[in-house]
Structure 1
Amino acid sequence: MQPTPHFVKLVITTGDPAGIGPEVSLAAAKEFLTEQPNVQITLLGDASLFRNSSGENLSTLEHLKIESISLGAPSIPGLLNPANAQYVLNLLDHASDACLHGDFDAMVTAPVQKSLINNAGIPFTGHTEYLAQRCNTQHVVMMLCAPLPAGFLGIKSHRDLRVALASTHLPLRDVSASLSYELLFETIQIVNQDLHEKFGSAKPVIRVAGLNPHAGESGYLGREEIEMIAPAIESAKQQGIDVSGPYPGDTMFDASALEHVDAFIAMYHDQGLAPFKFVTFGGGVNVTLGLPIIRTSVDHGTALDIAGKGIADSGSMLEALRLAYELALNQRKLS
């Protein structure tokens, strides 16, 4: 008798019902199941969002399950409804609790509309911060990942571009005050630890950006590099972490660095994500580092203007599933 395969169990929170989340979640799940026979995928969301116009009975698809969670109100594609704000959070609560309990190996999140949740009177700055609170984790790190093919910008072999952020969804005027030596030191530690424990990098190589133009130019353009960033890097080096910087933000991402750097740490959102998204063409994946669970996500928004039209690209969700699967396998090997 053949042994029963140990399936990797993934759960997808399908996001705001008015956006493209439900459709790209279903499309990507079906495609990924053709790639990996030892995966079970559960879609969380109201069952009405997954009705297939072709008449296909989704319940007959092997290894795909829809776990229905009721909407707060009927949903129309492209039209936000504050009555569904709590529904969106219910998806996150259910998935994160189930992952903490060990029912799933990883969770993958479709996009949500932050303004909808806030307009409903519920403070919400993003998935990263919400899941940190949900998992009772003080410090997490947002990191974007995308595969780069051999030959891209002259790189000799396939590499993964990874960009982590020291701060996330903040107004630019608040970034400097949010940074500290302690936060940056912990950020480097978290990135290094998860690159090793979840991504399987034996000795991760990390680059850290400065905050100011020219990395402060020896204090002439700002002292954050001297007072916070460089000391944090030095402390990390003393722990044996292979980290360097601070680099000027406009030169940190040089093509030659792609050959050997495992992760770049940017000081603020657009410093890291503008170059990342320019070269990854919407194929990126968002990963939350530092959580006791694995969480990946698409790197795009709800795309309300094309929701329900059947033209949404599910490529980022497919990459998010692929990475969640890979991280789950890596963690299983190390456990």
Structure 2
Amino acid sequence: MTAASTPSSAAGAAQAPLQIAITTGEPAGVGPELTAAALAGAAAHWPDAQFVVIGDAQLLAQRAKAVGVDWASLAASGRVRVQHVPVAVPAEAGKLDAANGRYVLTLLDTAIDGAMAGTFDAMVTAPLQKSTINDAGVPFTGHTEYLAERTHTPRVVMMLAGTGQRPLRVALATTHLPLKDVSAALTIEGLVETLRIINSDLRRHFGVPLPRILVTGLNPHAGENGYLGREEIDVISPALNAACAEGIDARGPYPADTLFQPRYLKDADCVLAMFHDQGLPVLKYATFGEGINVTLGLPIVRTSVDHGTALDLAGTGRADAGSMVAAVDAAVSMARHRRAA
């Protein structure tokens, strides 16, 4: 799969530094320590960016020690500052507490509001625990849906991507739905809009001039000419025809079990899968620890890690910060593209 062009770290010195917000996520999870680990080399890796870490300052300093980061020295560098939001109750690594569910949403709201106001050029989100937020009495499906609601965006697209030498990208036509509801959620209009968003954001945020998008079918063997389902005939193919008529290079529908091969992906910029567990297991197998989650279609830039809260690793210093580093790197790169556009 072709890699997007990535601007060098030597961005224009005359411009003000990019302002990147990072939410530290579930306080009992690995988010705080991964944030510290990722930012330890901020000055060297992202000299044109400053980072605003949104979370509990005392918790951050405590968890930074677990990964050998001197948080006071990092803050003194001028590249990183904390926007202090206190936890509702003391957080213990690995032990969830519903009392902090609303705290996690406050972190998100602070970053979203700042990004919408133009204070932040991008936001990066550490993993959160959906169950804790729901246990706090707040209906919550996920980051993607929450961002869409808070930014009043009628349709967003979840895309996970490998980075570095493995730039595989997989976007989803549907996100957090029970499998039995997927077919009814697929419409011609919805798929066309999803393809528009992918096409536009790959150009705008990733520097891909002419995106090529490969689209899976929904059913085994892409429906086997209708014998295994008609969604490919009645919905997906008409959507592809409509998108192509608009100048979008979208191809398919392809059987999902054979599409994810190098010979098909080598000249593609993104795969659009029909549901969550159709595309993401392949993506995560190929790129886990280096992958990122990007929300396309928003009026702001948002990236995240490709994993969860890893409660069993929280506070141990053993959690791998690779995905967090990649998410920060992608946010900076996307903000650069956006500023240059």
TM range (shorter): over 0.9
TM-score after normalising by structure 1: 0.94
Residue 11 of structure 1 is aligned with which of 21, 45, 70?
21
Distance 2:178 2:329 in 1: 32
TM alignment of 1:11-30, pairs within 5 A: 11-30=21-40
Instruction: Give runs of aligned pairs for residues 1-335 of structure 1, distance below 5 A.
Output: 5-51=15-61, 52-53=64-65, 57=72, 58-147=74-163, 149=165, 160-334=167-341
Residue 154 of structure 1 corresponds to none
Q: Which amino acid aligns with 2:23?
A: T
- Counterpart of 2:8 in structure 1 is none
Unaligned 5+ residue runs, structure 1?
150-158
Partner Cα separation in structure 2 for residue 3 and residue 328 of structure 1: 15
Q: Which stretch shifts more, 114-123 or 299-308?
A: 114-123
Q: CA contact under 8 A between 2:170 and 2:270: conserved in structure 1?
A: yes
SS at match of 1:147: coil
Query: Given residue 22 of structure 2, which amino acid in structure 1 is its aligned partner?
Result: I
Q: SS at the partner of 1:128? A: helix
TM-score when normalising by structure 2: 0.92
- Residue identity in the other structure for 1:43: V
Is the 8 Å Cα contact of residues 13 and 95 (structure 1) preserved in structure 2?
yes
Preserved contact between residue 32 and residue 318 of structure 1 (Cα < 8 Å) = no
Identity of aligned residues (%): 52
Q: One-letter code of the match for 2:88?
A: G
Q: Secondary structure at the match of 1:42?
A: strand
* Number of residue pairs the alignment of both structures matches: 324
Cα offset for 1:32? 3.4
User: Matches of 1:120 and 1:175 in 2, distance apart?
Assistant: 28
Structure 2 gaps, min length 5: 1-11
Q: Secondary structure at the match of 1:103?
A: coil
- Tell me if the contact between 1:192 and 1:241 (Cα under 8 Å) persists in the aligned partners: yes
- CA change 1:141–1:226 in 2 (3 A) is same
- Give the CA deviation at 1:34: 2.0
